[in-house]
Amino acid sequence: MIKRLIKSQIDELLFSGKAIVVLGPRQVGKTTLVNEVLAGKEHLFLNADDPTTRASLANANTSDLRRLIGSHRLVFVDEAQRLHEPGMTLKLIIDEFPDVQLLVSGSSALEISQKTIEPLTGRKWEFQLYPISWKEFEGRFGFLEAERQLEHRLLYGMYPDVINYPDRQAQVLKQLTESYLYRDILALSGIRRPELLERLLQALALQVGSEVSYNELAQLLVVDKATVMTYIDLLEKAFVVFRLRSFSRNLRNEIKNNRKIYFWDNGIRNMVLANFNPLYLRADKGALWENFLITERMKYLRYHQVIANGYFWRTIQQQEIDYVEELNGDISAYEFKWNSAGKHRTPASFSKAYQAPVKLIGKENFRDFIGPG
């Protein structure tokens, strides 16, 4: 069992008067997490993947729910997005049963955001769960074993089953990709062009660490820009990728409107490309290192509820900083180098304009970046 960082936060919020909602992609351990919170406590488990459960909750009124809930004070609705009108059903439980603590999980923001979350405004504590973080991984396996596996994790990622089945990592990732990235997203969004989604993901995987142009992607895929933007938005809502904007405040030659796109998991990225070659054979090890570090930083910020803005920085002359973070008005900048012993030059124009030192992050000090403390 890998202890998840947000469990203690959920424990503290039980019976605080609001529902607890855990969102995230499939197979990251949402059900396991909530069941761990509920371990040893009497509760009602409602699995919305079960047709009988869905039928019992469909158009249920207060009397129906009272019979179903009975004397239980803890109710866990798993895979809530499968319910018919889940938002209204969950809202009814919260409003009509104030002594009941409702816990909800959902695997896809595509429907959760539209059908579940909106009616629960002001009635929920929301958490997002991602693939295992490095801090969680190291906490389970220890410093030395985690250190030994670093290169392996850059290749195969941090999904729980990938870690739990080390002899079948590629097979697990293949199943995740085929059953979630394509089938679920296509079904939930109404998209009927799986080949376009697959080609877009491959293009994004090849551009990790580089600026992404919607116009260039549209030309490559022979579709319009609006379609590309729609697909990327769906991938972001489904916790497959996320975007970083460019940082610009002072300099006229700063790039202001571009973005980079990262995958929430290195293993998914590599499966999209069908490439698990060892690191020493790869030309993209810098991109894998950057994707890993930024993803781990995002997990840290969100799990610890740190309100900070993340960016990348680049000028028209191609001077660049991999990651810039703004926290409480302070600016921090970071450059990522897998081999930090090589030559490195920090753009003087950035340091001069923002009075912010640029810190080099390599294998020796990456823990300070991805999870201080």
The string of DSSP codes covering 278-311 is -GGG-TTHHHHHHHHHHHHHHHHHHHTT---EEE
Question: Which residues, 6 or more positions from 310, have their beta carbon under 8 angstroms from its beta carbon?
Answer: 244, 294, 297, 298, 301, 323, 324, 325
Question: Where in the chain are all domains bearing CATH 3.40.50.300?
Answer: 7-128
pLDDT at 113: 67
User: In the prediction, which pLDDT does 40 show?
Assistant: 96
Contact 106, 81 (CB under 8 A): yes
Q: What is the pLDDT along the chain (373 residues), one digit of tens a residue?
A: 899 999 999 999 999 999 999 999 889 999 999 999 999 999 999 999 999 999 999 989 999 999 999 999 999 999 998 888 888 899 999 999 999 999 999 887 767 766 776 788 899 999 999 999 999 999 999 999 999 999 999 999 999 999 999 999 999 999 999 887 777 777 777 777 788 889 999 999 999 999 998 989 999 999 999 999 989 998 998 899 999 998 877 666 555 668 899 999 999 999 999 999 999 999 999 999 999 999 999 999 999 999 999 999 888 777 889 999 999 989 999 999 998 776 677 787 888 888 888 899 999 999 999 976 5
In sequence order, the β-bridge partners of residue 311 are: 245, 324
3-state secondary structure (DSSP) of residue 47: strand
Handedness of CA 218, 221, 227, 229 (dihedral sign): negative
Integer Cα distance of 246 and 279 in angstroms: 29
Q: How many alpha carbons lie under 13 Å from residue 74 in its C-beta half-sphere?
A: 14
Specify the 3-state DSSP secondary structure of 88.
helix
Residue 81 corresponds to which tokens in the numbers above? Answer: 């997005």
Of 121, 104, 114, nearest in space to 21 by CA: 104
Rounded Cα distance, 312 and 37, in Å: 37
CA dist 4 to 29, 32, 203, Å?
9, 10, 32
CATH architecture of 7-128: 3-Layer(aba) Sandwich (3.40)
Residue written as tokens 């294998």?
Answer: 363
User: What does the alpha-carbon distance between residue 132 and residue 158 come to, in Å, rounded to a whole number?
Assistant: 5
Could you tell me which of 314, 289, 313 has the C-alpha nearest to residue 369?
A: 289
pLDDT at 255: 58
Q: Tell me what pLDDT residue 253 has.
A: 58
Residue 299: exposure state from Cβ atoms within 10 A (0-12, 13-18, ≥19): buried
What value, to the nearest 5°, has the Cα angle with vertex 4 and ends 157 and 304? Answer: 95
pTM for the whole structure? 0.93
